Amino acid sequence: MDVKNAFLNGDLTKEVYMQPLPGYEHPLDTVCRLRRALYGLKQAPHAWFSKFSTTITQFTFSSSSYDSALFIRKTPHGITLLLLYVDDMIITGDDLDGIHELKHFLSSHFEMKDLGSVSYFLGLEISSTPSGLYLTQAKYASDLLSCAGLTDSKTAPTPLKYNARLTSLEGTLLSDATLYRQLVGSLVYLSITRPDISHAVHIVSQFLSAPRSTHYAAILRILRYVKGTLFHGLHYSAHTPLELCAYSDAGWASDPTDRRSTTGYCFFLGSLLISWQSKKQIVVSRSSTEAEYRALADTTQELLWLRWLLKDMGVLHPTATTLHCDNRSAIQIAHNDVFHDCTKHIEIDCHFIRQHVNSGIIQLQFVSSAAQVADLFTKTHLPGRFHELLSKLQLVSLKPS
């Protein structure tokens, strides 16, 4: 559903005075217009969200404690979820009568447009079938390729070359970095449904301040990979157990410039990939075990948030969530109450993970490096290994019918 002129529904919290523009017959009307314009530019988003939150709670909806844009209503007939994004919203749930009443309630308070079953939302293409949902960004990716001027038929088997090492000194500085920054920003958004490019985009996004020719060449390779996998997207099966599990990995000292490590993790709800990240660690780790342990701490943080958010939506996890790690030393540290010299500088992370292990929220489990799915988010791979990992992420190619 779409709210027409959403920002004009908010209430001003202070008086605004402006001088009318010359040439208008009704200065007062001009002041009102300018008042609205100023309100729309500076105060509208917050005021609109506040107004909507107050209104939706009248229909017994409550805001999620863990995502302020998510509103939840639970009744004996089922659950209804409303996700608000600026002036657009998605409503879903199993209480069909409640959804119908909600749409009528919203229309009585705001000027609404019912867009029907969701098929295209903010660049995401959503295809619904009896087997589940497919999420792609094929049109968005196609527009991105046109913007980059890639009109030839060349493609790449992987987003980056194996063992690619980008630094801030190699290559010549770009005379105009505008296109580079635009392409990186677009690729970041494209990675919403493309976990296969997350690690590569994470690398090229580190050179936004002073991009060079080598960095732009890496961007073009990512785009050529996207060109060959235009219809890749995520499949969410309608028939899967809603058990949460996680994979955590680290690429030790992977940055050739500052030797900081890379954290990579991914979360599955049954067989459904629901969260992933590739991110440089904020400090330098002195060993691979330390890097893995820092990655475990970041993964645990995301794990707690997901458990809380899923609980809000009615998906309970009374047992511990399995967290897979391919470093036995890191797992042993989490179970060892005795601190040694090699771990005293990561004492907070040690206590953080151990607390949730002892409380039964997470269960650390060793997994071989060959079966470590999060390996995709920490380093580059040869085509064979790359596509092997992709097959475990439920990434599929939905070609147009």
Task: Work out the number of other CB atoms within 10 angstroms of the CB of residue 175.
Answer: 5
Question: Domain map of the chain by residue range?
Answer: 2-116, 136-228, 241-367
Region 31-59 average pLDDT = 69
191 vs 19, more confident? 191
Give me the pLDDT at residue 27, please.
46
Whether the predicted pLDDT of 394 surpasses 90: no
Q: Point out the least confidently predicted range of 7-21, 194-208, 249-263.
A: 7-21
How far apart are alpha carbons 396 and 401 in whole angstroms? 15
Tell me the H-state helices in 19-59: 27-42, 44-56
Whether the predicted pLDDT of 35 surpasses 60: no
Contact (CB, 8 A) for 92 and 72: no
CA angle, 223 then 214 then 165, to 5° = 95
End-to-end CA distance of the chain: 27
* Amino acid, single-letter form, for residue 287: S
How far apart are alpha carbons 199 and 377 in whole angstroms? 5
Mean pLDDT of the chain: 88
Tell me which architecture the domain covering 241-367 has in CATH. 2-Layer Sandwich (3.30)
Task: Work out the number of other CB atoms within 10 angstroms of the CB of residue 381.
Answer: 20
- Helix (H) / strand (E) element for 297: namely helix 288-312
**Percent of the chain's residues with pLDDT above 90:** 65
Residue 322's pLDDT band (boundaries 50, 70, 90)? very high
**Nearest to residue 255, comparing CAs of 325, 207, 310, 190?**
207
pTM for the complete prediction? 0.88
DSSP state of 202: H
| Residue 389: alpha-carbon gap to chain centroid | 20
Whether the predicted pLDDT of 40 surpasses 80: no
The length of the chain is 401
CA angle, 365 then 368 then 372, to 5° = 85
150 vs 156, more confident? 156
